[in-house]
Chain A
Amino acid sequence: DAKTTQPPSMDCAEGRAANLPCNHSTISGNEYVYWYRQIHSQGPQYIIHGLKNNETNEMASLIITEDRKSSTLILPHATLRDTAVYYCIAPTAGGTSYGKLTFGQGTILTVHP
């Protein structure tokens, strides 16, 4: 897996957008960027993934820079239930498993009322 770097913690006001950055400067051309989150006392939950185009789903948007060395996960209207640890992962592609993941320390996002 490509190495990823995330800030250890971030705060966000409820109702505002939460923008979580991730650096992955060593990512190779065929490695996706995945985001998972882990709410306290639960198993990790998949959020979104992308290769080089921006992606959006019902949970979040993913913005990947043109050189693919960094990305930003956007939660457009954060709620208290979005308080969690967010992991940015770039699993090795090319036929290997997308479920075999190397977790870093992630970003602890705290959403305040």
Chain B
Amino acid sequence: SAVISQKPSRDICQRGTSLTIQCQVDSQVTMMFWYRQQPGQSLTLIATANQGSEATYESGFVIDKFPISRPNLTFSTLTVSNMSPEDSSIYLCSVEKFLNTEAFFGQGTRLTVV
């Protein structure tokens, strides 16, 4: 399994500002992903965080709005830039480990933009 720690767990931010969310895993993982869960909705994949290279974004998500870093095999950050109230969501980190065939999820970061 994998233990995933996300920080912060929640935050309230002013519109126009940026927030960086951290995802730390207790062991090396092969793949790391970021998801968004808007209020009352299901999860939507934002991007795959690639170690040492630019993240791979899904349709509808762009690097300027959601820059992602992954400097090593256990850590990644997601920044939500120039926030608006529409960015109020839960942001979740998930990972996949070598020889595992399921994903592990963090507890999420609940973001409210006012």
Task: Mark A residues whose CB is within 8 Å of B.
Answer: 32, 34, 36, 41-46, 49, 85, 87, 97-106
Query: A91–B94 Cα gap in the complex (Å)?
Result: 15
Query: A34–B104 Cα gap in the complex (Å)?
Result: 13
**Is B42 within 8 A of A105, CB to CB?**
yes
Q: Looking across the interface, which residue of chain B has its beta carbon closest to that of A102?
A: B45
Of the candidates B4, B42, B100, B108, the one whose C-beta lies within 8 Å of that of A87 is B42
Task: Mark B residues whose CB is within 8 Å of A.
Answer: 4, 31, 33, 42-45, 48, 92, 94-96, 100-108
Given contacts A87-B42, A99-B96, contact A44 B101 (CB under 8 A): no
Q: What secondary structure prevails in chain A residues at the interface with B?
A: loop
**Is A46 within 8 A of B102, CB to CB?**
yes
**Is B104 within 8 A of A46, CB to CB?**
yes
List the 3 shortest-distance A-B pairs measured between CB atoms, nearest first: A43-B105, A99-B96, A99-B103
Of the candidates A42, A44, A100, the one whose C-beta lies within 8 Å of that of B45 is A100
Question: Which residues from chain B contact A99 at a C-beta distance below 8 Å?
Answer: 31, 33, 94-96, 102-103
Question: Which residues from chain A contact B33 at a C-beta distance below 8 Å?
Answer: 99-100
Of the candidates A41, A97, A102, the one whose C-beta lies within 8 Å of that of B48 is A97
Please give the distance in Å from B104's CB to the nearest CB on chain A.
7
Question: Which residues from chain B contact A100 at a C-beta distance below 8 Å?
Answer: 31, 33, 45, 48
**Is B42 within 8 A of A43, CB to CB?**
no
Query: A34–B105 Cα gap in the complex (Å)?
Result: 15
Query: A97–B58 Cα gap in the complex (Å)?
Result: 14
Question: Which residues from chain A contact B4 at a C-beta distance below 8 Å?
Answer: 43
Query: A87–B42 Cα gap in the complex (Å)?
Result: 9
